[in-house]
Structure 1
């Protein structure tokens, strides 16, 4: 039985933002997507999650995005992918 989460929310946040002025990370994101586990593993060896134009290999132990495609392309320079548990329901 897998202990990997079934879904995450990926937030794409500008890397240069130092002071969010009290805004939350979610409010600072230029894009977000809820991705769901596919049951497959990527080249990195980690589970693949996909949804809303994003495909990501995510390390479930650390919550680190190991690989990411956004609309079929690599992440633009200057953006950072952050992961948080997606709200269920």
Structure 2
């Protein structure tokens, strides 16, 4: 039985970062938001998550963002999105 995560952190980052080692962190993001499951399914067929001005359809298995709006608008070209799991207890990942 697979449990669907109830929250994620979405990071909006520059698509290309020269010399970058490892995945981006919230400190590197142009914008980040903690989103929670709405209980709805988006047009993409994946669960919808919303919070802090972002609405996203996220495949909870692969953590792929299938649709996203930020403050009601689509992302500009050159920006991409990363999804970071958030612990079930909501504790800060960094300590």
TM over 0.5: yes
CA distance in 1, matches of 2:3, 2:22: 32
CA distance in 2, matches of 1:24, 1:37: 24
CA distance in 1, matches of 2:35, 2:84: 11
Q: Helix, strand or coil: the match of 2:44?
A: coil
User: Which consecutive aligned stretches of 4+ in structure 1 deviate over 3 angstroms post-superposition?
Assistant: none
Q: Helix, strand or coil: the match of 1:75?
A: coil
Residues 31-87 of structure 1: CA deviation (Å, up to 9, x unaligned):
100000000000000000000000000001100000000000001111110001024
Matches within 5 A, 1:32-47: 32-47=32-47
Matches within 5 A, 1:45-84: 45-84=45-84
Consecutive unaligned residues in structure 2, runs of 5 or more:
none
Consecutive unaligned residues in structure 1, runs of 5 or more:
none
CA distance in 1, matches of 2:64, 2:16: 19
Moved more, 49-58 or 10-19: 10-19
Paired residues in the alignment total 88
Query: What do you get for the CA RMSD once the two structures are aligned?
Result: 1.9
Matches within 5 A, 1:9-20: 9-20=9-20
> Structure 1 or 2: larger strand share?
1
Q: Helix, strand or coil: the match of 1:66?
A: strand
